[in-house]
């Protein structure tokens, strides 16, 4: 029997993770790659203008990492609340 309070707590923690991860998702793509691209292009990273790098490379790397962080966080959370059983 899973009680209601545990479920709510689990869900709120999940929402908190989502907020943080989606904020990073927004910052690297829409922020660094679009809104602040001109400013960041003043900096150079290994031959790339930084804003351009975020738009065509960096954001994609961060996306991949974000999903794997999410997988990890949620697996731990499932375990903590004993929701990892079938």
Q: According to the binding rule CB under 8 A, does residue 46 interact with other proteins?
A: yes
> Which whole-number Å values give the CA distances from 72 to 9, 29, 51, 69, in the listed order?
18, 22, 29, 5
Q: Is the dihedral of CA 62, 64, 67, 71 positive or negative?
A: negative
Both structure tokens of 63: 């996306």
Q: Is 25 a residue that touches other proteins (CB under 8 A)?
A: yes
Where does this chain bind other proteins (CB under 8 A)?
A: 2, 7, 10-11, 14, 18, 21-22, 25, 29-30, 33-35, 37, 41, 45-49, 52-53, 55-57, 59-61, 63-64, 66-68, 70-71, 74-75, 78, 82-86
């Amino acid at each position: 029997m899973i009680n209601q309070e545990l479920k709510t707590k689990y869900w709120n923690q999940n929402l908190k993770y989502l907020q943080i991860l989606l904020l990073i998702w927004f910052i690297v793509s829409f922020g660094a790659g679009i809104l602040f691209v001109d400013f960041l292009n003043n900096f150079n990273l290994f031959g790339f203008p930084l804003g351009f790098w975020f738009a065509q490379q960096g954001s994609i790397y961060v996306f991949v990492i974000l999903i794997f962080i999410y997988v990890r966080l949620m697996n731990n959370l499932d375990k903590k609340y004993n929701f990892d059983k079938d």
